[in-house]
Amino acid sequence: MSRSRSRSYLARGVVLCTVIAGLISALFQSSDENFVGHQSLSRTRPATSSTALRDSDPLRPFRAAVDVIDQIGDAYKLAEEQESMMKAIRVDLESAYKEDGGGFTFTPLASDLQFVDPFVHTEGRLLSDVYLAPQMAAIKGIADPESLKFKVKSIKVVAADFDPWGNATYPPRTDAPVAKRSAKYAIYATWETSCQGRFNITGPNGANLFEQKPFYMSGQDVFRVDERGQVSRLEMAIDQHPLAIAAHFSPFAQTFAPTLISKKEAGASANLDAATVLDQKVRDASGTQKTIAELMGNDDAPAPVIFLRHMG
């Protein structure tokens, strides 16, 4: 990290020196041209118009140089702000389950934060905290503390209008209100959280009487930062089926019922030995073949499907 940062500062220094050298060269050239032009103009006729006086202003190159330097300074300030914001978000996310962590401690969230995920949209930081805190507590409740972790897979600065939701499995709600304030940039983070089960009971001869399945969840967040340098909007997407996530919190799902999962969404690498595949086709009461996912809300579904629906 220190080596890459040193190389970054060195590269910025080289660019800054090159810009300053070019400005100085242009400054002297422009000053000579203005001086010669001023002499030739004074020999022919006096420059009475304000435009002529402004064009012959010998300080104009200096002012242009100052403007360019100010722009460079503003760019560096923005880069420093973005780097600080990424660091704060990463620390807060990876400290989610720590005793002295949880919530967003270092990330500057706006008091009127707009939060949007696949299920709800809220306005106000307090409401988002009230919504998220019980979820984090529930995960900590079922997890083996030694194995519980939250990992930031990637994090980067993106454009203010960055939209990755076209490829998201379960994107933020589309009926959420539009952003109250425009953003000047955004931070895009992908993450995953996992743990081993806390409750496992072994019977005679090592037989598992109760085995809690490992928990895994992944997703992506976009933190949109306004002109005040605060996160004014937080959008979240998840990669797993909500029923598969909810099944981890049901004792029936751990003891008797399999995990609910979509094979299409899980991919070929997923272990489906102990899973009820949601896109598996079964026959409803009329004899029509439908997927389990389609039948979850249908009272005419076969008894096992109705059991799975009420299980979680």
Domain regions of the chain by residue span: 2-83, 91-239, 241-312
16-56 residue pLDDT tens: 665 565 556 555 554 444 444 444 444 444 544 555 545 56
The set of residues, in sequence order, having a beta carbon less than 8 Å from that of 213 and lying 6+ positions away, is: 197, 248, 253, 254, 259, 274
Flag whether pLDDT at 293 surpasses 80: no
pLDDT the model gives residue 26: 53
Pick the CATH number of 91-239 from 1.10.260, 2.40.160, 3.40.50, 3.10.450: 3.10.450
Kindly indicate the confidence band of residue 152, based on its pLDDT and cuts at 50, 70 and 90: very high
Kindly indicate the confidence band of residue 58, based on its pLDDT and cuts at 50, 70 and 90: confident
Average of pLDDT values for 85-91? 95
Average of pLDDT values for 231-250? 88
For residue 218, give the nearest of 241, 192, 200, 248 by alpha carbon. 192
d(CA 44, CA 39): 9
Average of pLDDT values for 122-146? 90
pLDDT the model gives residue 196: 86
For 250: left if phi > 0, alpha if psi spans -120 to 50, otherwise beta; the answer is: beta
Contact 280, 295 (CB under 8 A): no
175-222 residue pLDDT tens: 999 999 999 999 999 999 998 888 777 766 666 667 777 889 999 999
Helices (H) and strands (E) in the chain, counts: 9, 12
Kindly indicate the confidence band of residue 71, based on its pLDDT and cuts at 50, 70 and 90: confident
pTM: 0.63
d(CA 266, CA 269): 7
Give the length of the chain.
Answer: 312
d(CA 223, CA 231): 6
